[in-house]
Structure 1
Amino acid sequence: MTLENKFNQIQTHNFTTESGEHYPIINLSYQVFGPQLNTAPIVLVNHALTGNSQVIGEQGWWNDLIGESKTIDTLKYTVLAFNVPGNGYDGFLIENYKDFNARDVARLFNQGIKNLQIKQLFAIIGGSVGGGIAWEMAALEPKITQHLIPIATDWKSTDWLIANCFLQEQILANSSKPIEDARIHAMLCYRTPASFSAKFQRTLNEELQVYNVESWLAHHGNKLQKRFQLSAYKMMNQLLKTIDITRGRDSFVSIASTIEAHIHIIGIDSDLFFTANENRATYEELKKHKENVSYQEIVSIHGHDAFLIEYQQLHNLLATIF
């Protein structure tokens, strides 16, 4: 058993994005946890907007779900995680973020899987934009995985989501404190009014003479500014805005029904970003044409971020798969 915390690199040569921009070399970095590649069933984990390939370990963002004897057990499964090119975690940045869309990243991930000589994945799992990229990967390569598990996401960015990404882009372009201010706005999309009420109850921070909700939001802004780069935020926001497995192709049903994987859609009843109604509509439409599709829901006051909070519920929903 190995727990590799170092980056591995794959280079993709002569990559042309859907927008027609040519990149002679794109570095795709990844980390592997658990048994060595191709010695056990492989689970690909796609990170969300401010995430990275460090899914477990000291700085791991999904430690509650993945690890030895956990829901995704690294004694049984090899866990593979790519860094979205340009997320900055591996030192690789992309300034011309508008060159890329979510499908471009899915193409790079699929190429990475081929380069690693992986015949088929056991599962692709991802939350938020990571789940959107998972949808795009399976739409491009319908045989790529046995299980597709998109959480708190959908196969397309809705008008509401695009509108919020547009506001994020405006903040990132025009604010004197772009990362902090964009993060503060984003937190309002990731949580809910009920979540804020339960957490803060209109209490004051006596020391700072501000409401606790204000100091909490400022803290999150400052924290992200210290570990995230502006070009990385712009890139990830662009990907979130451009999820759409149907762009330039056929209808959703005609594309999604070719995906051979069992599709396990997991929504969140209070999600303001990727709404449960959209997820239910996706399921209802798809189940008319595909048998091995299911829909389950996390029940939480916490909104979009519930997939990083409600670990027991997520474990219960995923236990039968893993």
Structure 2
Amino acid sequence: MKLESIPNPIILQNFTTESGALYNSIPLSFALFGLPLHSAPIILVNHALTGNAQVTGENGWWNDLIGEGKTIDTNKYSVLAFNVPGNGNDSFSIENYQDFTTRDVARIFLNGIETLKIEQLYAIIGGSVGGGIAWEMLALAPNITQHLIPIATDWKSTDWMIANCFLQEQILNNSSKPIEDARIHAMLCYRSPESFKEKFQRTINQDLLIFNIESWLAHHGNKLQKRYQLASYKLMNQLLKTIDITRNGEDFKTLMLKTKADIHIIAIDSDLFFTPKENQETFQELKKFKDNVFYSEINSVHGHDAFLIEYKQLDNLLAAIF
């Protein structure tokens, strides 16, 4: 697998957010994998809340899906991934997280694509908030991609999602251990009751004399605290809360009639965060006026995080596209 080294990020000058906040300079760092840019079809991969542009290779968070001979084969494609500015993977930090919405990040990514002289992508794929950014990109630029593949996400944040993000925000702003405590709550949304039952069976950690589920949650909180910045968590949570392609504009049908892209919605049957029912409703709405829309489900006890776990199912669902 060839990784193209990118010496410098793209610098966006005088970017005004939807809320009217002016940023004189925003660095947009990114990574390229596979074949050289413009020599092969290009796939954009949008990362999730605590992810980054390192989608494959050493420390790649989607190695099961992307790489040489994998579903998204780096011998066939150019794979591009941006870091959400402020996600903590460079020196740039955003303290006023409420300045930004998911649409702002979609605009930033589209700006990056234009700077790289990319006229059209073969596919945009993303899970969770990364998929929400993908929906927003398609709404802003209907001809930007041939395939949209939103996984474990939707084109809008539901009341349930907004409620959980509100609780996350309260924890992040008020807790004495904000990252750890927010992560512990989030893990309850990323997994499912059945997943916990299968994994822990009410067993006790004999060293700590607490339930293994408790020590596991504490471990995940501590682990994230060591590698993640508070400002980044607040920003990414804000993005998760503000997915809505219809905000301040046209309705869903009007926006989606503008695109010829194939839309492949992939839900998870046990997802407590972006529920399959919401995804099915989106699919049924699209089917009323669009033929090239497809719906599939990952079957898993593991809830929202199944898109990072059930790679064999994901491989089967994506094989025809790639």
For the residues of structure 1 that align with 2:175 and 2:162, how far apart are their CA atoms? 19
Partner Cα separation in structure 2 for residue 257 and residue 156 of structure 1: 17
Q: Which amino acid aligns with 2:299?
A: V
SS of corresponding position for 1:117: coil
1:4 CA drift (Å): 3.3
In structure 1, runs of 5+ residues without a counterpart are: none
**Helix, strand or coil at the partner of 2:90:** coil
Distance, in Å, in 1 between the alignment partners of 2:8 and 2:257 is 34
Equivalent in the alignment of 1:311: 311
Q: Kindly indicate whether residue 178 of structure 2 is the aligned counterpart of residue 178 of structure 1.
A: yes
Partner of 1:53: 53
Q: What is the correspondence of 1:207-222 to structure 2 with a 5 Å cutoff?
A: 207-222=207-222
* Structure 1 Cα separation of the partners of residues 259 and 88 of structure 2: 31
The answer to whether the 8 A contact 1:8-1:31 is kept is no
Question: Which amino acid is 1:179 matched to?
Answer: I
Query: What pairs up with 1:1-322 in 2 under 5 angstroms?
Result: 2-4=2-4, 8-322=8-322
Shift of 1:197: 0.1
Q: CA deviation at 1:8?
A: 4.0
CA contact (8 A) 1:4 1:31 kept: yes
Within 2, Cα distance between the matches of 1:317 and 1:183?
A: 30
Structure 1 Cα separation of the partners of residues 233 and 260 of structure 2:
33
SS in 2 for 1:64: coil
**Equivalent residue pairs, number:** 322
**Matches of 1:84 and 1:259 in 2, distance apart?**
25
Cα deviation code 1:297-318 (max 9, x no counterpart): 0011111000000000000000
Contact 1:28 1:84 in 2 (8 A): yes
- Determine the C-alpha separation between the residues in 1 that align with 2:160 and 2:202: 28
Is the CA contact (8 Å cut-off) linking 1:7 and 1:30 kept in structure 2? no
Name the CA distance, whole Å, in 2 between partners of 1:257 and 1:201.
Answer: 49
Structure-1 separation of matches of 2:257 and 2:157: 19
Q: CA deviation at 1:119?
A: 1.1
- The 1:8–1:124 alpha-carbon spacing in structure 2 relative to 1, beyond 3 Å, is farther
| Counterpart Cα distance in 2 of 1:253 and 1:146 | 18
Give the counterpart letter for 2:21 in structure 1: E
Residue identity opposite 1:206 in structure 2: Q
Provide the rounded CA distance (Å) in 1 between the counterparts of 2:170 and 2:6. Answer: 35
Answer whether contact 1:5 1:54 (CA < 8 A) is retained.
no
Cα offsets for 1:144-203 (capped at 9, x unmatched): 000000000000000000000000000000001000000000000000000000000000
The TM-score normalised by the length of structure 1 is: 0.99
C-alpha contact 2:4 2:36 (8 A) present in aligned 1:
no
Write the distance in 1 (CA, Å) between the matches of 2:7 and 2:62: 18
Q: 1:149 is matched by which residue type in structure 2? A: I
CA displacement, residues 271-292 of structure 1 (integer Å, 9 cap, x when unaligned) = 0000000000000001111111
1:220 aligned partner, one-letter code: H
SS of equivalent residue, structure 2 residue 110: helix
Take 1:287 and 1:16, find their aligned partners in 2: how far apart are those partners?
Answer: 36
Shift of 1:121: 0.3
Deviation (angstroms), 1:256: 1.7
Contact 1:156/1:243 (8 A) holds in 2: yes
Identity score, percent: 72
What is the alpha-carbon distance in structure 1 between the residues aligned to residue 44 and residue 14 of structure 2? Answer: 25
Look up the equivalent residue of 1:201 and give its one-letter code.
Q
